[in-house]
Amino acid sequence: MTEEERRELIRKKRRREAILRKRKIRRMKRIAFFSGCALLAVLIIILVVTLTKKDESSVKQTEASESVLSELSSEDGTEASTDTGKDTASMSSDEGEVENTVSQDEVAADLSGLTADQQSVYAQAQRLAAMYDYDSAISLLQSQDGYDGISVYTEAVSDYEAEKAACVAVDVETVSHIFFHSLLNDDRGFDPEVSGDFVAQDNGCWMCSVDEFNTILQQMYDHGCVLVRLRDLVVQTTDEDGDVHFEKNTSLMLPEGKQAVVLSEDDLSYYHAYDNQGIASKLVFDENGEVKCEYINEAGETLVGDYDMVPLLNAFIDEHPDFSYHNAHAIIALTGYNGVFGYRTDSVYKTLDPDHLDENQAVWLEAHPEYSFEQDVADATEIANALKEEGWEFASHTWGHRHADTTSVEDLAVDNEKWVNTVENIVGPVDTIIFAHGSDIAGDEDYDMDNAKYAYFKESGYNFFCNVDGTTPVWMQIRDDYVRSGRVNIDGYRLYQAMTGNESAVADMEYLGIHDIESFFDYARVTPVVIPE
């Protein structure tokens, strides 16, 4: 076995272990959740019984509650009866305390009739249902051996059916598409003394800090936002000629009051130009096989953890699966010129072509004699595969971060071929292009095949096109042959605008439930926040 194969094996093993560990954690969460529900039901029954017996003596009250609990526990074949007296006693003196004393035994009892495998399946079903994928949750449980005899399963299925029936169709033309760049973990990137005036001002405009991102995510979640994929907004069909057609999806179903949102992240390459700005430097697998960030802190220590959007959003969705529709995460828009995810995968790192190797790249190569092009491509591919499994998608951001509006179609074609050769080989085929600099290949008017740039991209396999338009919370064109989405930038510039009363910025934030910006805005930025010249 070669060294490479051995490492591959170890990596696979770690990932498998991590998946198992994750499942276990999720299972525990489900059990905790179920225990809460069971406890609540018991509590309500006890309360009802207590209230109806209010006129009787306190001794009788205790007996009555005990008998209810005993019935409940014997029905389930559990062994809660020994704890019942204590629970009921504490209940008669303090309703609040009961909640803590009854719960664990009740729940453990409810799932204890299930084997470990059955509990694992149940946990999977609960997660699917939390992500509004009721059909998958139902069919998963119904496909299990002995389904009809497993009351936990049959009851869960009727719950899922009721929840599904209560969902309403999302008006896809009300769905906002927002995006972030890489996040700052410390103040270096905002500090002109460290990063220089231009870069500090630039970061102040287009970047958010990790704390800002976390607060915004939580506020959006509290507002009822749910992440969906851009492709969830449409129904895509392919005709006999192989041409694709789109129409609005009229059956994207979410519970009433939820607000669908598409999320993307631009420039996840960890460019050389980001060095020493408090931004992560690489996506890596941690010892559990989970995708995390490598980050070099101000003291020069290399840390691995939740230092950017990928691991932060993964963790948030693990904790709040109802923030994601069918496990949607976000679209990652990638250039190629410095590689992807912090891996130096562009061909220039291999060819060392002096006409194309820039100074940053030469300096980096000099500092990394251990670098292997093939290894970086292999490692980046593993990261991409793991992200796809997690529900992330990829898009082209053009290879060279080009201005699609002012670049000729010939140059855009050369650029796209470079992207295909140096990025698509890692992330796989994509049908989405998120133009760099917020540019676009047309104005508000529809694309058509007379537009040479559109014709080129369309013929190259792109169907979803994104620009930046913060002037309105939602901008979209769903046409027979393409989908076009205007994105709202959530960054220092826009936050500052909203804070200082810019009407469209205020409207964008209100639409997403982002509020009290002054309470979390990172004032390490140079203010006022203005676009550097």
Residues that bind Zn ion (CB under 5 A): 266-267, 436
Decide whether 232 or 267 has the Cβ nearer to Zn ion. Answer: 267
- In a 13 Å sphere around the CA of 532, the CA atoms on its Cβ side amount to 16
Report the alpha-carbon distance of residue 262 to residue 131 in Å, rounded: 15
**Helix orientation angle between 3-52 and 116-130, rounded to the nearest 10 degrees:** 80
Residues near 413 by beta carbon (within 8 Å), at least 6 away in sequence: 456
Contact 118, 53 (CB under 8 A): no
What's the min distance (Å) between Cβ of 195 and Zn ion?
18
- In a 13 Å sphere around the CA of 86, the CA atoms on its Cβ side amount to 10
The phi-psi region of residue 359 (left if phi > 0; otherwise alpha if psi is between -120 and 50; otherwise beta) is alpha
| Two structure tokens written together for 399 | 């290879």
Decide whether 267 or 431 has the Cβ nearer to Zn ion. Answer: 267
C-alpha triplet 141, 143, 148: angle, nearest 5°: 70
- Three-class SS of 103-148: HHHHHHHHHHCCCHHHHHHHHHHHHHHHCCCHHHHHHHHHCCCCHH
What's the min distance (Å) between Cβ of 410 and Zn ion?
22
What's the min distance (Å) between Cβ of 395 and Zn ion?
11
What's the min distance (Å) between Cβ of 262 and Zn ion?
17
What's the min distance (Å) between Cβ of 460 and Zn ion?
20
What's the min distance (Å) between Cβ of 309 and Zn ion?
14
What's the min distance (Å) between Cβ of 401 and Zn ion?
6
What's the min distance (Å) between Cβ of 281 and Zn ion?
18
What's the min distance (Å) between Cβ of 393 and Zn ion?
17
Decide whether 325 or 465 has the Cβ nearer to Zn ion. Answer: 465
Residues near 405 by beta carbon (within 8 Å), at least 6 away in sequence: 439, 440, 441
Report the alpha-carbon distance of residue 326 to residue 142 in Å, rounded: 19
Decide whether 105 or 266 has the Cβ nearer to Zn ion. Answer: 266
DSSP 8-state secondary structure symbol assigned to residue 232: G
Report the alpha-carbon distance of residue 272 to residue 274 in Å, rounded: 5
Decide whether 29 or 437 has the Cβ nearer to Zn ion. Answer: 437
Report the alpha-carbon distance of residue 262 to residue 226 in Å, rounded: 8
What's the min distance (Å) between Cβ of 436 and Zn ion?
5
Residues near 437 by beta carbon (within 8 Å), at least 6 away in sequence: 401, 403
Decide whether 169 or 273 has the Cβ nearer to Zn ion. Answer: 273
What's the min distance (Å) between Cβ of 398 and Zn ion?
9
> Tokens 């840390």, residue?
303
Decide whether 207 or 524 has the Cβ nearer to Zn ion. Answer: 207
Phi/psi of residue 213, each to 5°? -60, -45
Decide whether 266 or 431 has the Cβ nearer to Zn ion. Answer: 266
Distances (CA, A) of 473 to 33, 172, 266: 35, 13, 18
Decide whether 267 or 290 has the Cβ nearer to Zn ion. Answer: 267
Decide whether 395 or 436 has the Cβ nearer to Zn ion. Answer: 436
Contact 277, 195 (CB under 8 A): yes
The one-letter amino acid at 527: T
Comparing CA positions, the residue from 268, 252, 232 lying closest to residue 483 is 232
| Two structure tokens written together for 239 | 């005709």
Strand ranges in 170-305 using DSSP code E only, listed in sequence order: 176-180, 183-184, 208-209, 225-227, 234-238, 244-248, 253-255, 259-266, 282-285, 291-296, 302-305
What's the min distance (Å) between Cβ of 481 and Zn ion?
26
Decide whether 202 or 431 has the Cβ nearer to Zn ion. Answer: 202
What's the min distance (Å) between Cβ of 271 and Zn ion?
10
Decide whether 436 or 474 has the Cβ nearer to Zn ion. Answer: 436
Decide whether 185 or 264 has the Cβ nearer to Zn ion. Answer: 264
